[in-house]
Amino acid sequence: MRKIAYHAAIGLLVLMVALLCLVFLIFNPKKSLLYKIADNYKGWAIVRYDDPSCAPLEHENIFLVITIPASGIACTSSLLQDGWRYHRYEYVSEGKLVREIRVSNWGGGGEIWAGFGMPNKHSESFFVGTEQELQRSWASRPK
Domain range holding 6?
1-28
Residues 89 and 45 reside in one and the same domain: yes
Residues 119 and 65 in one domain: yes
Interval 56-92: pLDDT, tens: 999 999 899 999 999 999 999 998 777 778 899 999 9
- 3-state SS, residue 39: coil
Averaged pLDDT for residues 35-52: 95
Beta-strand (E) ranges in 4-95?
32-38, 43-48, 58-60, 63-68, 73-75, 87-93
pTM for the complete prediction? 0.75
Cβ atoms within 10 Å of 12's Cβ, excluding its own = 10
pLDDT, tens digit, 9 for 90 and up, residues 18-40: 666 555 545 545 689 999 999 99
Q: Do 71 and 5 fall into the same domain?
A: no
Positive or negative torsion for Cα 43, 47, 52, 58: positive
Q: What is the pLDDT of residues 125-139, one digit of tens each?
A: 999 999 999 889 878
**Nearest of 72, 81, 71 to residue 49 by alpha carbon:** 81
Are 21 and 44 within one domain? no
